[in-house]
Structure 1
Amino acid sequence: MASPVLPRTSSRWICGLLAAGLLALAAGVAEAQWGGGWRRWRGGPPRFPSEVATDRSFAFARVMFQSVRRERGGYGWSTDYPDADYNFMIRLSELTKTSVSFGKYREPNHVVVRLTDPEIFDYPFIFMSDVGTAFFSDDEAVGLRRYLEQGGFLWVDDFWGPAAWDTWRGEIRKALPSSQYPIVDLPLSHPIFRGMFDMEGYPQIPSIQHWRQVGGSTTSERGRLSEQPHFRGIADEHGRLMVLMTHNTDVADGWEREGEDTEYFLAYSIDAYSIGINVLMYAMTH
């Protein structure tokens, strides 16, 4: 089993806070606190901005896109949806002082947006999963570029191996050409690793299905083709990171599956929430 990437002092602190919620979930207390918990939300329909009464507080926005190929274990734009979005917002509200948008019954106001939607500009942080299957139309590429150049932040996650990387690189280049926006590997000195939590390495988080299938013996979902996790980025002309690409890792599964297995939670959800909160804090302050 992989040990947390966080230093011992930081990991002990976040582990205690998160474990309290996990134990409550196991005991059934979270049924009242979380409106039924993650089980209630799995496989739910997309919630578009027109259907959600959001305010100026943070709302998790996931991008809907067309898939033109299939990756093992992936479901296109809806991979890890909606539980990852739902759980991340709850943990963000518990672990930080960030104002998080909740509905009438304390359910998180997460939304799904398209790159061509004018409402996308209401959400300074957007997220995509399984982008190794994505295809952008000309209008979507223009919309994404406009969103990013006007200060938006995109995080793409959960795509494994060289084929998925090549597919994604081809699509993001429609919006951000290499001549103007190079892709770089992010050093551990970058602020996303030195925010609220100090990270000592690049966490490779497998899906819980893979972890169970291999008995925790490896975190690489594509064998030798995905042994090394990559944290890559694209910055604007001022050096602001505007696209984060977490390749050969599934950070969002650490959010989505936190309540399913205590061992998985301790091995991966702690790192998943730590890097997630760091990234969001960066995105909202730069």
Structure 2
Amino acid sequence: MQLRRITRAGIALALLGVGYAQRGFQHNFREYPSVEYGRSAPLPSDWQKPGEWTFARLMFPGGPLDGYRGRFDGPWQQGLSLWTQDYPKADRDFAASLRRLTRVDARSVEQPVNLENGDEVYDYPWVYAVQVGEWGLTEKQGAKLRDYLMRGGFFMADDCHGSEEEAYFTRTMKMVFPERDLVDIPDNDPAFHVLFDLNDRIQVPGAEHLNTGYKKDGRVAHWKGIYDDKGRLMVAFSLNSDIGDSWEYYDSPWYPLKYSEMGIKLGVNYVIYGMTH
């Protein structure tokens, strides 16, 4: 996986207009309790400093496959639910990596985004969701997500494992895009080469599945997507990989470096692609 011969200054110029636009529309930071960290995650020292790009994490209700059912059953709008998996450490670790590897002025803290909260999602060109094989996206939320993506937004869907979760996520995306299919992203797609050349992509297991290398029956990693009519990738779906864990544990000595390297480079490529295409 080699860094392409394009200047970081060139990337910065390409992102300049988008960056200043987002800086002008940033919402006040808000934080929710998470299933892994509660309210104990420390804030970075510069958490109040605005940035040109913010890690936008999608909030959503749990669905019929929600693995936290019975443990975290409160209102999903208040945190402590499925969408807070890996949050907020993964978000902040990835934002820090993005700042180190590019000229993108990433805000050090994330922003949870609720599709039901007015037009908030349109202020973020890139959104991420975890555990998408277990979510309970509603028709109203799906309609908002569709409009956001058709207007130029980018959605990274992560941490979906096995045939049952894949089938459920596929059904929910058919609710969003009845006329479009999830397809394999070809190896020569610009999303895999816009900054890092990711020709040799590897499966990224979650921290709890390092011994087997996979979860449920998801033995093989797939990289799928949904395209618009002009061939722009709108949805990037990581099937049978846990990219969020690769960010969350990148500084843990027991977590294999090769997985964090893969996950961080993939995420950086998706950010650059999403903001320049």
Normalising by structure 2, we get a TM-score of 0.76
Corresponding residue number in structure 2 for 1:192: 191
AA at the equivalent of 1:239: G
Counterpart-to-counterpart distance in 1, 2:264 and 2:222: 18
Match of 1:43 in 2: 38
The Cα shift of 1:137 comes to 1.8
Moved more, 146-155 or 131-140: 131-140
Greater fraction helix: 1
Amino acid at match of 2:63: V
* Contact 1:131/1:159, CA 8 A, preserved across alignment: yes
2:55 to 17, 36, 60: 60
In the alignment, is residue 271 of structure 1 matched against residue 271 of structure 2?
no
RMSD, aligned α-carbons: 2.4
User: How far is the alpha carbon of 1:138 from its aligned partner?
Assistant: 2.1
Mapped to 2, the partners of 1:221 and 1:137 lie a distance apart of 26
Regions of 4+ moved over 6 Å: none
Q: 1:91 aligns with which of 87, 93, 97?
A: 97
SS in 1 for 2:83: coil
Q: Distance in 2 between matches of 1:137 and 1:54?
A: 34
Instruction: Summarize the Cα distance change of 1:45–1:170 in structure 2 as closer, same or farther, 3 Å threshold.
Output: farther
State the AA in 2 paired with 1:202: R
CA contact (8 A) 1:259 1:265 kept: no
Distance between the aligned counterparts of 1:116 and 1:173, measured in 2?
20
Higher relative contact order (CA 8 A, sep 6+): 1
Say whether the 8 Å CA contact 2:54–2:124 is kept in structure 1.
yes
Letter in 2 for 1:229: A
In structure 2, the residue matched to 1:156 is: 157
1:174 match:
175
Structure 1: which amino acid aligns with 2:195? M
Q: Distance in 2 between matches of 1:110 and 1:256?
A: 13
Q: Which amino acid aligns with 2:120?
A: E
Q: How does 1:241-280 map to 2 (within 5 A)?
A: 241-261=233-253, 263-280=254-271
Distance 1:228 1:278 in 2: 22
Distance in 2 (CA, whole Å) between partners of 1:73 and 1:253 is 17
Is the 1:202–1:231 contact (alpha carbons within 8 Å) kept by the matching residues of 2?
Answer: no
Which residue of 2 is the match for residue 220 of structure 1? 214
**Counterpart contact for 1:136–1:171, Cα < 8 Å:** yes
1:18 matched residue in structure 2: none
* Distance (Å, rounded) in 1 between the aligned partners of 2:234 and 2:50: 24
Letter of the 2:259 counterpart: Y
Deviation at 1:202, TM superposition (A): 2.8
Cα deviation for residue 196 of structure 1 reads 1.4
Structure 1 portions without partners, runs of 5+: 1-5, 11-40, 47-51, 102-107
* Number of aligned positions between the proteins: 229
**Residue identity in the other structure for 1:147:** Y
Which residue number corresponds to residue 25 of structure 1? none
Aligned equivalents of 2:116 and 2:195: distance in 1? 33
Residues 1:138 and 1:239: Cα distance change in structure 2 (over 3 Å): same
For residue 169 of structure 1, report the CA deviation from its aligned partner: 1.0
